[in-house]
């Protein structure tokens, strides 16, 4: 264009001078005898003193014959889209483009009503994409904030359009007549020019609307809560062994004491007569036999030991038994105490399908569509179960989360992974179960064939490249509205969680019980001796 305007300027001025016969043609020139063109100054001064409106703006030259009043656009093609990367001006040099130049008629083309000077952007109130502002609401109505709200503001700034919001209740599903509901329906019917939300790109929707380049990647996952209060209890230290094993250990202790007592009675090597120096063997008393097995069981040893070969065999086997039991208990105890807060009855979608736990999703969204349109009979079966259940499908993500919390451990909600991440960051009782079922993305929807698509896509590429999308994700997921509140409760980096009184309180109770029992028994002992003395005195 610059060259075209240059030739136009030359030819117009040449023609003008020739028309009034003010120009003598230059003499034939050779390299050996160069000749100056006598009228060249006349021609140059005519060019300097004239101007015209060319393709690249007003064409005019300074006193040295140079042109400076033009701008150069630096264009790059990315993924087939023309992206304005920068602008060069004579005065300021090259600077990075911040504003994508959208010609005025683009906005007119996109809106149905040519009078309209701002676009209607439909959205859904869903955290953290669009939420009512907590801080301010002005006289013109409620203000909205969130990831999608910040994103559309950035895109509008880059593309150069103004917009107003339209709040819609549903994401959008196709009914039996092929009509679309919700946010997709608004775009299809022209009620909205753009739709921005946690709006999933799928092939069914792609047939009726155009999507921009994706701005977030995700997959369907399971939101669930298991009643951890049930699994964390004061007597957690008992959990490594089953009640049956605890019972068997008690019976074994008693049996060993009894057998020791009996064998000691009949064994000639345990009797006092054979070893008069040491006196009577303590194993001749059942009380001492019980004391021996308890002391061995808790690995404390005892101040008396069996003497006979027979009683020593029994003691050795009992020690071996307690060694194995205590080692198994210790190993299992650590594992039990650390994993109990993560304990969940399900760990995958297969577990969920097999269990009695009810499950559902949003009733008019792409998540339910995934199960409906899946070619996998397993997911189809899950779809039938969800739709046959009276109250498994919800109107919104918020209602699904409330249901998961209310029916703690009895209801699981299929939701999109990024949104789950947001909620588990704030509600520590919630958790994400298993791997994602699929992988897809969110995009901005607009009318089929909209001229805005390439500009919005360019803007999203630019925002991605400049790290704005990452910054917004961090802001709305980790920082705003209580982000990071579950981090303290999370396990520390070495994978070990602190044990609290909630886990180990029971062992303190056992100690207290021992002290009380000791006090009661000492009372009984005093009573016993006193009674005996009285009897003796009487
Ligand atoms: N983001 C989804 C949609 O666009 C909502 C869902 O079904 O989870 O429909």
Mutate to test the pocket of ligand 1, among 128, 147, 171, 205 (most ligand atoms within 8 A of CB): 171
Protein residue with its CA nearest to atom 9 in ligand 1? 365
pLDDT band (50, 70, 90) for residue 372: very high
Dist. CA 112–CA 150, nearest whole Å? 26
The DSSP code sequence of 424-474 is: HTT-TT-EEESS-S--EEE--EEETT-THHHHHHHHHHHHHHTTHHHHHHH
- What was the pLDDT predicted at 334? 76
Q: To which residue do tokens 């009661």 refer?
A: 520
Domain count for the chain: 5
| Residue 416 CA, closest ligand 1 atom number | 8
DSSP state at residue 394 = B
Asked if residue 78 has pLDDT above 50, the reply is no
The answer to whether residues 246 and 311 belong to one domain is: yes
- The separation between CA 126 and the C-alpha centre of its own chain, rounded to angstroms, equals 15
- Ramachandran region, residue 324 (left: φ > 0; alpha: ψ -120 to 50; beta: rest): alpha
The answer to whether residues 372 and 295 belong to one domain is: no
Q: Which residues of 420-442 are buried (b: 16+ CB within 10 A; e: fewer)?
A: bbbbbbbbbebbbbbebbbebbb
The mean per-residue pLDDT over the stretch 240-262 comes to 91
User: Domain boundary residue among 289, 316, 341?
Assistant: 341
Dist. CA 164–CA 156, nearest whole Å? 11
The answer to whether residues 101 and 205 belong to one domain is: yes
**415-457 pLDDT, tens per residue?**
999 999 999 999 988 999 999 999 999 999 999 988 888 889 9
Mutate to test the pocket of ligand 1, among 172, 204, 367, 397 (most ligand atoms within 8 A of CB): 367
Protein residue with its CA nearest to atom 7 in ligand 1? 365
| Residue 414 CA, closest ligand 1 atom number | 8
- What was the pLDDT predicted at 220? 96
109 vs 516, higher pLDDT: 516
- What was the pLDDT predicted at 392? 94
- What was the pLDDT predicted at 371? 95
194 with 122: CB under 8 angstroms?
yes
Cβ atoms within 10 Å of 182's Cβ, excluding its own? 20
In CATH, what number is assigned to the domain containing residue 468?
3.40.190.10
In a domain? residue 44: yes
Contacts of residue 151, defined as CB under 8 A and 6 or more positions apart, other chains included, come to 196, 215, 463, 469, 472
Mutate to test the pocket of ligand 1, among 182, 197, 199 (most ligand atoms within 8 A of CB): 199
- Residue 41 domain boundaries: 2-68
Query: CA triplet 164, 165, 170: central angle to 5 degrees?
Result: 155
Dist. CA 320–CA 322, nearest whole Å? 6
The answer to whether residues 416 and 459 belong to one domain is: no
The answer to whether residues 293 and 333 belong to one domain is: yes
**147-166 pLDDT, tens per residue?**
999 999 999 988 888 899 99
**172-190 pLDDT, tens per residue?**
999 989 999 999 999 999 9
Q: Find the residues whose C-beta lies inside 6 A of ligand 1.
A: 171, 198-200, 361-362, 365-367, 416
- What was the pLDDT predicted at 472? 96
In a domain? residue 78: no
Question: Rounded mean pLDDT of the chain?
Answer: 83
3-state SS class at 74? strand
**123-152 pLDDT, tens per residue?**
999 999 999 987 765 555 678 999 999 999
In a domain? residue 76: no
* CA 89 to centroid of ligand 1, rounded, Å: 46
Asked if residue 475 has pLDDT above 90, the reply is yes
Asked if residue 111 has pLDDT above 50, the reply is no
Contacts of residue 388, defined as CB under 8 A and 6 or more positions apart, other chains included, come to none
| Residue 362 CA, closest ligand 1 atom number | 7
The answer to whether residues 419 and 384 belong to one domain is: yes
The answer to whether residues 310 and 362 belong to one domain is: no
The answer to whether residues 334 and 348 belong to one domain is: no
- What was the pLDDT predicted at 80? 46
Protein residue with its CA nearest to atom 5 in ligand 1? 365
Asked if residue 313 has pLDDT above 50, the reply is yes
Number of residues in the chain: 538
pLDDT band (50, 70, 90) for residue 79: very low
The mean per-residue pLDDT over the stretch 70-77 comes to 73
User: Domain boundary residue among 382, 416, 438?
Assistant: 438
Torsion over CA: 457, 458, 461, 466 (sign): negative
The answer to whether residues 124 and 97 belong to one domain is: yes
251 with 243: CB under 8 angstroms?
no
The answer to whether residues 527 and 412 belong to one domain is: no
pTM over 0.95: no
The answer to whether residues 331 and 371 belong to one domain is: no
In a domain? residue 75: no
In a domain? residue 402: yes
* CA 173 to centroid of ligand 1, rounded, Å: 10
* 87 strand-pairing partners: 73, 95
In a domain? residue 361: yes
- The separation between CA 519 and the C-alpha centre of its own chain, rounded to angstroms, equals 56
């Amino acid at each position: 264009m610059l060259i075209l305007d240059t030739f136009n300027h030359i030819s117009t001025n040449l023609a003008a001078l020739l028309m009034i016969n003010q120009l003598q043609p230059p003499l034939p020139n050779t390299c050996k005898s160069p000749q100056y063109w006598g009228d060249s100054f006349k021609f140059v001064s005519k060019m300097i003193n004239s101007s015209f409106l060319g393709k690249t703006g007003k064409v005019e030259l300074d006193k040295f014959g140079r042109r400076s009043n033009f701008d150069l656009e630096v264009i790059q093609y990315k993924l087939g889209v023309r992206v304005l990367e920068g602008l060069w001006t004579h005065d300021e040099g090259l600077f990075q483009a911040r504003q994508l130049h959208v010609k005025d008629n683009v906005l007119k083309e996109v809106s149905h009503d040519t009078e309209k000077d701002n676009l209607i952007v439909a959205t859904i109130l869903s955290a953290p994409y669009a939420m009512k502002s907590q801080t301010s609401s002005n006289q013109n109505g409620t203000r909205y904030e969130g990831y999608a709200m910040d994103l559309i503001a950035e895109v509008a700034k880059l593309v150069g359009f103004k917009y107003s919001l339209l709040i819609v209740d549903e994401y959008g599903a196709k009914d039996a007549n092929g009509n679309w509901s919700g946010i997709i329906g608004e775009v299809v019917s022209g009620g909205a020019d753009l739709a921005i939300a946690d709006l999933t790109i799928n092939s069914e929707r792609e047939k009726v609307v155009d999507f921009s380049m994706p701005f977030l990647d995700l997959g369907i996952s399971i939101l669930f809560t298991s009643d951890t209060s049930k699994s964390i209890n004061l007597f957690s230290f008992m959990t490594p062994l089953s009640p049956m094993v605890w019972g068997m250990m008690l019976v074994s202790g008693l049996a060993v004491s009894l057998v020791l007592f009996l064998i000691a009675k009949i064994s000639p090597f345990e009797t006092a007569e054979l070893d008069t120096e040491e006196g009577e063997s303590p194993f001749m008393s059942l009380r001492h036999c019980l004391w021996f097995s308890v002391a061995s069981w808790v690995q404390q040893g005892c101040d008396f030991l069996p003497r006979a070969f027979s009683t020593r065999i029994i003691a050795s086997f009992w020690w071996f038994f307690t060694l194995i039991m205590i080692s198994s208990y210790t190993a299992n105890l650590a594992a039990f105490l650390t994993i109990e807060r993560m304990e969940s009855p399900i760990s995958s979608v297969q577990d969920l399908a097999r269990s009695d736990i009810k499950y559902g999703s949003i009733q008019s969204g792409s998540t339910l569509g995934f199960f409906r349109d899946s070619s996998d009979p397993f997911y189809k079966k899950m779809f039938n179960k969800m739709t046959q259940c009276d109250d498994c499908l919800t109107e919104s993500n918020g209602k699904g989360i409330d249901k998961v919390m209310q029916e703690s451990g009895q209801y699981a909600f299929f939701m999109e992974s990024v949104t789950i991440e947001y909620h588990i960051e704030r509600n520590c009782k919630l958790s994400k179960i298993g791997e994602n079922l699929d992988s897809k993305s969110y995009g901005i929807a607009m009318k089929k064939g909209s001229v805005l698509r390439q500009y919005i896509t360019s803007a999203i590429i630019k925002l991605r490249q400049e790290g704005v999308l990452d910054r917004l994700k961090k802001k709305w997921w980790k920082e705003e509205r209580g982000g990071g509140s579950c981090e303290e409760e999370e396990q520390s980096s070495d994978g070990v969680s602190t044990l609290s009184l909630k886990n180990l309180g029971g062992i303190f109770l056992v100690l207290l019980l021992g002290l009380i029992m000791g006090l009661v028994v000492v009372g009984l002992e005093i009573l016993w001796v006193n009674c005996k003395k009285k009897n003796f005195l009487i």
